[in-house]
Chain A
Amino acid sequence: MWALATRLGLRSWLGWRRGFTSKADPQGSGRVTAEVIEHLERLALVDFGSQEAVARLEKAIAFADRLRAVDTDGVEPMESVLEDRCLYLRSDSVVEGNCAEELLQNAHQVVEEYFVAPPGNISLPKQDEQEPFSDN
């Protein structure tokens, strides 16, 4: 039951992606095109899920655009407030470990001492492709 519901959920999510149209948002920058959406969803492996989420991203970008007004000529980027100090490096000696069993306990699918992952190198279907999911 649960697996079926999840598949349906995924299907409706993909359906949304297929049916998406970019609407101009008066507060937005119009930069979040369908292409950008698809690209971001694949990079982040997190979906927008709704038109509202796209609108929120547009607003976030418009907000960030305010930085353009700042004059940063000749200014170096700052990565850390501790940039003037040396990062501590501890000596390369093994002082802990051997806790495979403990670590494996938190995973859902485990076989012996392996985490089980589904097959890799399969891209998410593109917007206009049929979903290739077979019944599990």
Chain B
Amino acid sequence: MTSRTERRGVSAALKQGQITPTELCQKCLSLIKKTKFLNAYITVSEEVALKQAEESEKRYKKGRSLGDLDGIPIAVKDNFSTSGIETTCASNMLKGYVPPYNATVVQKLLDQGAVLMGKTNLDEFAMGSGSTDGAFGPVKNPWSYSKQYREKRKQKPHGEKEDSDWLITGGSSGGSAAAVAAFTCFAALGSDTGGSTRNPAAHCGVVGFKPSYGLVSRHGLIPLVNSMDVPGILTRCVDDAAIVLGMLAGHDPKDSTTIQDPVKPFTLPTLTDVSKLCIGIPKEYLAPELSGEVRSFWSKAANLFESEGAKVIEVSLPHTSYSIVCYHVLCTSEVASNMARFDGLEYGHRCDINVSTEAMYAATRREGFNDVVRGRILAGNFFLLKENYENYFIKAQKVRRLIANDFVKVFNSGVDVLLTPTTLRGAAPYLEFIKEDNRTRSAEDDIFTQAVNMAGLPAVSVPVALSNLGLPIGLQFIGRAFCDQQLLKIAKWFEKQVQFPVIQLQELMDDGSSISEIEKLASVSLKH
């Protein structure tokens, strides 16, 4: 397979006419069809995509391309509003709902000429860590069908598709992660409230980036937790994530929680010398449940930085063990409030009961929401009851400050970036995963990722290596607030050192498509 260092940028290829936007779009559409069994997409916007590709082609012919994203296929998680395209949040509540506007981040991508392939699958209303609890079914991890995984399991790659033991993608942006991992698009939008972009990125072997809270507009992102949600970016390499971030970041008058500091698109510089860096290893993240393999990769990564001259020190985030509890209370409380808008009157599902508004709302919400969503709404309402407000909600807000302060202290002591695992282990088989309920799984799986959301910091999961089972393992870098560029610079250096292997998807190669075509798509990023 072509190594990463030899890849040609697809943007350059488009500019030079080596491939047209329409050809690229059609290739991706065909891949989407071939990988339909992954269930990564809820809606494939074929007509829209081809039309956008056509327009992009006209621009290229006139030599007037809009930039690096012009003609590039992208996918968007189905909790971002897309004008004229159904937006469901993988819930019965919004089946058939067609927003009359684009989310700001979607509009920005379209303004750059990106080609929208479709809306990707997720856990219902982005609640979950497996992408298994949506109304359109679970998403399957492409690595379940990879040569690397199947060889380890001693399964014939070309044999009968053994499908009962497929693996989850992680969540909740599992569809986006799978879409990027399976080459059906070059970048995808996810959302990140407690790790929902970084978790599936780690399980699917792609880069999952969570920007600083306030850097990227949330207008049009159907909210889960207003004080923690951010749009996330999933790509196959760090450079691509930086390109997308450059286009999305910046103040939005429609989202008053975006900061007003000026932000310019940037080219990510290449770091060659890490000797001036200080990497922090939070000792509380050495959880007993952490798998030996992930621990070993974490340790090797730390050693790698040290061997290249960086200062690597152990740091402490003392309130780590309370972080997930605090997140649980704040999340359910804000969810209880945010889900109140779904009453069947102005949009979304509406039941047939017309006796009274209350009866109508209650029945609509029972029919529209799944158990997970209802469970969180009820828990949130419990914590917000007058008699509980002080002891749960306010208490959690106080603990949130302690957690955020932990990070501030560490960064003030001279640490540039923290290095932690992203997940406890590699992707689990679906049948294993569903043995525990959503809340339990979320509490386990979000353990390394959610504290970052509470502190509003930028973080990125970078695929490191394959486990003994042939599955991707990712590591997480956490940066200072609004130092997203520096964070990505360090992540890019690390990515180059580890040379994570390209997924070998037999499914795509079986039907006679020329290997070189797949290789081309597999190994290219947007730029060199």
Contact = CB atoms under 8 A, between A and B. Distances in A.
Given A45-B361, A72-B395, A3 B227 contact: no
A53 B325 contact: no
A98 interface: no
Interface string A89-126: 11000000001001101111100000101111011100
B377 A63 contact: no
Given A89-B256, A120-B356, A82 B214 contact: yes
A109 B345 CA distance: 8
B206 interface: no
Interface residues of A, number: 67
Tell me whether chain A's interface is mostly helix, strand or loop, or mixed: loop
Contacts of B362: 41, 45-47, 124
Contact of A64 (B260, B367, B392): B392
B359 A103 contact: no
Interface in B472-524: 481
Nearest to B437: A56
A40 B345 contact: no
Contacts of B263: none
A136 B354 contact: yes
A132 interface: yes
Interface string B62-91: 000000000000000000000000000000
B428 interface: no
Interface string B85-102: 000000000000110100
B401 A88 contact: no
Contacts of A56: 375, 437, 439
A85 B358 CA distance: 40
A8 to B, nearest CB: 12
Contacts of B304: none
A119 to B, nearest CB: 6
Interface string B289-312: 000000000000000000000000
Nearest to B391: A68
A6 interface: yes
B379 A61 contact: yes
Given A67-B329, A79-B227, A10 B399 contact: no
Contact of B366 (A3, A46, A123): A46
Nearest to A2: B352
Contact of A81 (B326, B350, B456): B456
A53 B214 contact: no
Contact of A118 (B253, B360, B402): B360
Contact of B356 (A41, A53, A122): A122
B394 A77 contact: yes
A123 B439 CA distance: 31
Contacts of A78: 397-398, 400-401, 404
B23 interface: no
A106 B328 contact: no
A133 B358 CA distance: 13
Contact of A108 (B325, B332, B344): B344
Contacts of A36: 382
A53 B439 CA distance: 12
A21 to B, nearest CB: 18
Interface in A18-61: 32, 36, 39-49, 53, 56-57, 59-61
A9 B359 CA distance: 12
Nearest to B100: A102
Given A70-B322, A108-B350, A118-B359, A13 B366 contact: yes
A129 to B, nearest CB: 13
B363 A10 contact: yes
B346 A64 contact: no
A105 B213 CA distance: 33
Contacts of A102: 100
Contacts of B355: 118-119, 122, 132-134, 136
A130 interface: no
A79 B227 CA distance: 7
Interface string B320-350: 0010011011001000100000011111101
B351 A6 contact: yes
A76 interface: yes
A57 B382 contact: yes
Contacts of A77: 394, 397-398, 400-401
B382 A81 contact: no
Given A6-B352, A78-B401, A85-B259, A106 B377 contact: no
B345 A115 contact: yes
Nearest to A119: B356
B258 interface: yes
Contacts of A132: 355
Contacts of B343: 45
A27 B332 CA distance: 20
Given A40-B382, A57-B378, A108-B344, A67 B399 contact: yes
Contacts of B375: 53, 56-57, 60
Contacts of B392: 64, 67
A78 B330 CA distance: 11
A54 to B, nearest CB: 9
A106 B346 contact: yes
Contacts of B361: 45
Interface of B: 97-98, 100, 213-214, 227, 251, 253, 256-260, 319, 322, 325-326, 328-329, 332, 336, 343-348, 350-363, 365-367, 369, 371, 374-375, 377-379, 381-383, 385, 391-392, 394-402, 404, 437, 439, 443, 454-456, 481
Given A80-B227, A118-B353, 19 more contacts: A10-B363, A41-B378, A44-B378, A45-B358, A46-B369, A53-B375, A53-B378, A57-B378, A70-B398, A77-B400, A81-B404, A81-B456, A89-B256, A103-B100, A106-B348, A107-B350, A108-B350, A124-B358, A124-B359
5 contacts: A44-B377, A53-B378, A67-B392, A99-B100, A132-B355
